Amino acid sequence: MKLTPTQGHYQTQSPMTSAHIAQTMTLLYMTATELLQTIDVELSKNPALELINERRCPMCGRKLPPQGPCSICSQPKTLDPGETIIFISPRDDFFTYQGSSSSSLEDYPEDPFASIQLDLPTYVLQQVAPDLEVNEREIAAMILTNLNEDGFLTIEIREICRFLHTLPSKVEVVLKKIQRCDPLGVSARSVKEALLAQVEFLSETTGIPEFVRRAIKDEFELLSRHQYSELAKRLGTTVQKVKLVSHFISENLNPFPARANWGTIRNPNDSTPNVFHQPDILINYLNNKPGNPLVIEIITPSRGTLRINPLFKHAVKDQIGEKQEEWKKDIEKASLLIKCIQQRNNTMRQLMEKLVATQKSFIIHGDTYLEPLTRAQVAEELGVHESTISRAVANKTVQLPNRKIIPMAMFFDRSLSARAILRNIIANENYALNDTEIQEELENLGISVARRTVAKYRAMEGILPAHLRRIEKFATT
């Protein structure tokens, strides 16, 4: 199969073999980081595959400078601000990049596409900030700057009070808000407090029996020493149930909040796998100026250009029998890998083109602007199988212009805009609306969901039920 640059990108000219399809599917499923590891493994075991110290643009084939994207493909083609620039960016530094690079060349003094790796305090602050009152901000800041590696608070509440001249009850309120952020239980002062925060959050969405909470809250000593029969007696239940509780805790709760892969969206019902801090796609405004065209950078991991080793290819002729067969297979495998990486790039580019065209407002303005979109729809429009889109979306993360990193699956989350609207309704309520009233408000806005779904969305957003909000928001003023 010959690959030629057409309309600015490579197009395949002959139908793919089944081996080609299978490997492309496998590569599609991988994140950029995993793909880099796969290439490294293949380089180490296949003598036919070679990495040359030359970077080429995967889209136009031009030779690239040692760093930075293709200067042609990453530029706007028209003066239309509505235009979107999409390009595939070969780089090997994407997963270690932390804001500024000391080795950047003069031509590329600042990399506008650099992803920033959020630290835990910043990550949590971004989540809790909208829920904080003005006078709570400095308390939150002090809490978040005094967390250890495990996510535990390392100073006493009375120290915070003394320092900020505030009351312990005020600090407690902020602590509670922070503990509901991802990673759940962060800023707890003990394992027990962390577990309790997690179980309380989870019990709002799932049917966790009350005695699980009691086991942690009142009988934590017995629980951690596995004294099941005594525990059963105190909780008024059976030993078998107590063992189930213990199992549930070890399976679902995290005693050290920050040791988990935090960065997942805060949603216990969501099966989205962990979101890592290395985005696969970067979305930015051209020259970082809002209003400019969007620039979509699709990371393809690369330290140079992969190719078939010409000496190896030449030497095949001199081999005989089994050895020659073996070498031929190595060459086939190597060329397949190269083709499939190109195919993966192509699919990712088409997918992002489609996603950005549909979800531009969501990318720029946020959650409420998410358009309903299914993987099947995208598949149909791109003329590929739905499973191709599912694999391309799986495990991938996208960094938005506001530097927030989200799972790519979020572009398909049908509940997201409803949840954002629900959040808005509650933020503007004059009294604590119950779920039926919220359901009616949503209905008025053209969103019809069951009351049960309202309760679920509310819990996903970490919003208390009406009777508790009444106390929190409206009882004392």
Stretch that binds Zn ion, among 29-37, 64-72, 98-106, 431-439 (CB under 5 A): 64-72
76 near Zn ion, rule: CB under 5 A: no
294 near Zn ion, rule: CB under 5 A: no
Supply the minimum distance, in Å, between the C-beta of residue 297 and Zn ion: 12
3-state secondary structure of 440: helix
Torsion, CA 457, CA 459, CA 463, CA 465, rounded to 10: 100
Stretch that binds Zn ion, among 49-57, 145-153, 304-312, 410-418 (CB under 5 A): 49-57
85 near Zn ion, rule: CB under 5 A: no
231 near Zn ion, rule: CB under 5 A: no
Stretch that binds Zn ion, among 27-35, 50-58, 101-109, 204-212 (CB under 5 A): 50-58
Q: In what order do the strands lie in the sheet with 281-285?
A: 84-91, 294-301, 281-285, 397-399, 405-407
Supply the minimum distance, in Å, between the C-beta of residue 69 and Zn ion: 8
The answer to whether the CB of 5 falls within 8 A of the CB of 345 is no
60 near Zn ion, rule: CB under 5 A: yes
73 near Zn ion, rule: CB under 5 A: yes
Stretch that binds Zn ion, among 68-76, 77-85, 384-392, 443-451 (CB under 5 A): 68-76
Which of residues 73 and 355 has its CB atom nearest to Zn ion in the complex? 73
The answer to whether the CB of 39 falls within 8 A of the CB of 356 is no
Q: Which of 57, 194, 235, 363 binds Zn ion (CB under 5 A)?
A: 57
Element (H, E) at 191: helix 191-205
The answer to whether the CB of 394 falls within 8 A of the CB of 274 is no
In the numeric block, which tokens belong to residue 72?
């042609």
* Interatomic CA distance for residues 195 and 229, integer angstroms: 22
59 near Zn ion, rule: CB under 5 A: yes
Q: Which of 28, 35, 36, 70 binds Zn ion (CB under 5 A)?
A: 70
* Interatomic CA distance for residues 96 and 116, integer angstroms: 9
Supply the minimum distance, in Å, between the C-beta of residue 56 and Zn ion: 8
CA distances from 364 to 111, 151, 401 (A): 21, 31, 7
Which of residues 60 and 173 has its CB atom nearest to Zn ion in the complex? 60
x/- site string to Zn ion, residues 1 to 40, per CB under 5 A?
A: ----------------------------------------
- For 132-169, give one letter per residue: b (16+ CB within 10 A) or e: beeebeebbebbbebbeebbbbeeebeebbeeeebeee
Which chain residues interact with Zn ion by CB under 5 A? 57, 59-60, 70, 72-73
